[in-house]
């Protein structure tokens, strides 16, 4: 797996530019071992809830090196990726590349990156929003990887998400009139964690009530190929994996959806058909897709 | 001398009934001075009232009830913003600081 730079989208780091002509790449292409590839259970969770938190991905030594870079270059926004060799090393780790390949394929395209910084004692929260422009792809998706170089307990303001909101079309902050939702989720974070977000998930940065500045690095990648059967397909139709999706399709699992939760279940079931390449598998509420002979 | 200020509750409910459960909410408080912090994103796990009706029983007036959703043939499963929005208001007295 190697990250590809489209010169019409973003420049490549100098090290990559020097090593290739035309489309620049981050590293030499190395095959991802199957044991590092995104699992079917992980993909089922992502399809259902729109995010995936994976802990213990990055060793402490590298976490510390990145944190020092984040403090040194805290205001560099989009340029941090180019300044910090350490942050690029995080995304060269085989266990990280395996997850990205499972979502996006062997040649994900660099979209943009950003170093997010919430100062100590900043008590204001960000409005609820989804990033970027309305996405017109029916099922294809970008992934935003949020890498945490330090512990971020809830009082430090790790990003809040609304599980299951990723297929709901909104336009940036068009939902921001609302401040709270039943089922909103703020996950305490351990250093070395990456939270992978579907591009459409509703989210907001939270206040930092501690004495310490809070950082998170975001890398947005586009798929380099059709996102069909890219993850480890072992057990994708097993009861254990299907239970993840079926639990998410049950009324009340995402209480903010109200009586429209059955419509969300159809959207997620269609996404599962897409990523598995299985046109018959059906995890929708009351197997609505099969009952009505729908794609 | 006391003056009146408007407080606004924005509720979304699980269906179109004012008796149904509040699933999303916000309070915009015109009685709070500008140096005070309004309700923040993510600051509460439970709404101030369980339903629109419960808020009415506590003196809030309903300003807006939601239109029923329209389901277009072939697009029945499309999803977007939350569909059942009620807006409520209450006028409260504040002391004139002048």
Q: ipTM score of the complex?
A: 0.96
Q: What is the mean pLDDT of residues B20-40?
A: 97
What are the pLDDT digits (tens) for A160-187?
Answer: 999 999 999 999 999 999 999 999 999 9
Q: Are residue A266 and residue A215 in the same domain, yes or no?
A: no
In a domain, A231, yes or no: no
- Does pLDDT of A130 surpass 60? yes
Q: What's the CA gap between B9 and B65, in Å, rounded?
A: 12
Residue ranges with strand state E in chain B: 2-13, 22-29, 61-64, 85-95
**Looking at chain A, which residue has its C-alpha nearest residue B42?**
A180
In whole angstroms, what is the distance from residue A171 CA to residue A131 CA? 8
Give the total number of structural domains in chain A.
Answer: 2
How many CB atoms are located within 10 Å of the residue A123 CB? 12
Domain end marker among A191, A222, A253: A222
> Residue A253: inside a domain, yes or no?
yes
Burial A149-165 (b: 16+ CB within 10 A, else e): bbbbeeebbbbbbbbbb
* A171-206 as b/e: b if 16+ CB within 10 A: eeeebbbbbbbbbbbbeebebbbbbbbbbbbbbbbb
Of the pLDDT bands very low, low, confident and very high (cuts 50, 70, 90), residue B19 is very high
CA A26, chain centre distance (Å): 20
Residue A284: band (very low, low, confident or very high) from pLDDT cuts 50, 70, 90: very high
A22 and A165 within one domain: yes
A228, part of any domain: no
Residues A85, A42 share a domain? yes
Is A87 inside a domain boundary?
yes
Question: How much is the CA Rg of chain B, to the nearest whole Å?
Answer: 16
Residues in chain B: 98
pLDDT score, position A20? 42
Q: Is residue A115 part of a domain?
A: yes
| pLDDT tens for each residue of A218-233 | 999 999 999 999 999 9
Which H/E stretch holds residue A65? helix A60-72
Cross-chain residue pair B82–A263, CB shorter than 8 Å: no
CA atoms within 13 A on the CB side of B59: 5
Distance from CA of A26 to the nearest CA of B (A): 37
Q: Is A73 exposed, middle or buried (0-12, 13-18, 19+ CB in 10 A)?
A: middle
**What residues in B contact A206, CB-CB < 8 Å?**
41-42
Q: Which domain CATH number covers A98?
A: 2.60.120.620
A168 contacts in chain B (CB < 8 Å): 79-81
Cβ contact A178–B39 (<8 Å) = no
Domain that holds residue A50: 4-222
DSSP code string of A125-151: PPPPB--SSPP--SS---EEEEEESS-
Which residue carries 């903010």 as its tokens? A256
The partner residues of A222 in beta bridges, in order of sequence, read A109
User: How high is the mean pLDDT of chain B?
Assistant: 95
Chain B interface mutation, best of A125, A135, A178, highest count of B Cβ atoms under 10 Å: A178
* pTM as predicted: 0.94
- Check whether residue A247 and residue A179 sit in a common domain: no
Residue A233 lies in a domain: no
pLDDT in tens, B78-87: 999 999 999 9
Cβ pair B43:A125 closer than 8 A? yes
Same domain, A144 and A177: yes
């Amino acid at each position: 797996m190697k990250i590809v730079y489209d010169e019409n989208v973003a420049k490549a780091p100098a090290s990559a530019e020097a090593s290739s002509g035309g489309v620049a790449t981050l590293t030499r292409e190395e095959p991802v071992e199957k044991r590092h590839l995104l699992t079917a259970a992980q993909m089922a969770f992502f399809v259902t809830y729109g995010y995936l938190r994976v802990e213990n991905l990055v060793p402490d030594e590298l976490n510390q090196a990145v944190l020092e870079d984040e403090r040194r270059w805290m205001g560099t926004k989009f340029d941090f990726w180019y300044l910090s060799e350490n942050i690029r090393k995080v995304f060269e780790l085989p266990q990280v590349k395996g997850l990205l390949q499972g979502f996006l394929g062997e040649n994900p395209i660099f979209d943009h990156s950003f170093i997010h910084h919430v100062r100590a004692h900043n008590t204001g929260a960000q409005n609820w929003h989804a990033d970027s422009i309305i996405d017109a792809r029916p099922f294809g998706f970008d992934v935003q990887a949020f890498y945490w170089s330090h512990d971020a307990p809830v009082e430090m303001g790790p990003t809040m998400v609304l599980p299951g909101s990723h297929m709901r079309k909104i336009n940036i902050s068009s939902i921001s009139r609302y401040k709270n939702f039943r089922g909103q989720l703020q996950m305490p974070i351990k250093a070395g964690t990456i939270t992978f977000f579907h591009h459409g998930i509703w989210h907001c940065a939270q206040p930092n009530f501690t004495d310490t500045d809070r950082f998170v690095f975001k890398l947005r990648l586009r798929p380099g190929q059709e996102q069909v059967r890219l993850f480890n397909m072992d057990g994708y139709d097993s009861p254990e994996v299907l239970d993840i999706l079926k639990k998410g399709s049950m009324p009340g699992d995402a209480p903010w959806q109200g009586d429209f939760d059955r419509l969300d279940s159809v959207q997620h079931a269609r996404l599962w058909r897409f990523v598995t390449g299985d046109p018959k598998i059906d995890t929708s509420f009351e197997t609505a897709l099969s009952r009505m002979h729908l794609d | 001398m006391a003056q009146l200020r408007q407080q606004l509750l924005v509720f979304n409910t699980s269906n179109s009934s004012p008796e149904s459960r509040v699933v999303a909410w916000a309070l915009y408080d015109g009685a709070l001075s500008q140096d005070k912090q309004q309700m923040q994103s993510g600051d509460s796990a439970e709404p101030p009232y369980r339903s629109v009706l419960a808020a009415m029983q506590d003196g809030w007036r309903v300003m807006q009830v939601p239109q029923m959703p329209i389901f277009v043939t072939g697009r029945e499963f499309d999803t977007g913003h939350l569909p059942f929005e009620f807006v409520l208001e209450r006028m409260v007295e504040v002391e004139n600081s002048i």
